Amino acid sequence: MSNLQVRIHPQVRFVEKEGAAVLLQLDRGRYQSLNGSGLTIWSDIGNGTTVDDLVSRMCSRHPGVARQRIDDDVRKFLAQLQSRGVVTLEAAP
Which of residues 19 and 76 earns the better pLDDT score? 76
- CATH at residue 47: 3.90.930
How many whole angstroms separate alpha carbon 40 and alpha carbon 27?
24
pLDDT band at 2 (very low <50, low <70, confident <90, very high): low
Are 55 and 68 in contact, with CB atoms under 8 Å apart?
Answer: no
pLDDT (tens digit per residue) in 59-72: 999 999 999 999 99
Amino acid identity of residue 90, one-letter, is: E
Are 86 and 25 in contact, with CB atoms under 8 Å apart?
Answer: yes
How many whole angstroms separate alpha carbon 32 and alpha carbon 47?
21
Average pLDDT, the chain: 91
- How many domains does the structure of the chain reveal? 1
Query: Hey, is 18 helix, strand or coil?
Result: coil
User: What is the span of the domain harbouring residue 56?
Assistant: 4-91
